[in-house]
Chains A and B, each alone.
Chain A
């Protein structure tokens, strides 16, 4: 069965302090890995899709990378408005559904 584990559960950073969020996955044939941002009480907002190991995508202060076992979401010089829960999800060739991790709750202090 496809599994997704995100770490850490919560991360507190000072403004400007770069860090990374981890998404470890176990799937039989990765079809795609997805990153979403979710603000409290709102629906997830799509950020990136990664399809193969070695692939990288960037958007403003965020950069997502993918290996055969995990994905990282790197946050460079974060600002308070980057505070949110970041969700990772995978889909596999055995399962059309998306499997979500529990998320990492990021807080950036000014």
Chain B
């Protein structure tokens, strides 16, 4: 099946620094990728939709200036957590769908996730 690769798998950073997470579609082109965040014992919460060549669409309550998304190519989207704080510590997961057609029934493929710890 389609493969989505996410890097890094885990990162520990100091409060106030920025962290970049990469999400790559390895064997297909993804015009749209999605970024999720998951806190312990909670479900995945959609943060934003990353659109190739245009601005990301953020969900209500997600600060676009804090979570910078860049989708520069059809195979790469990046999420940068700027000025990270301990409350940003979470499991961040990206996903992409195969297929460009709206309405096509295809499942989402997920990256391996990035466990971010801000100390």
Q: Do A and B bind each other?
A: no
Chain B: residues with CB nearer than 8 A to chain A?
none
A-to-B contact residues, CB < 8 Å:
none
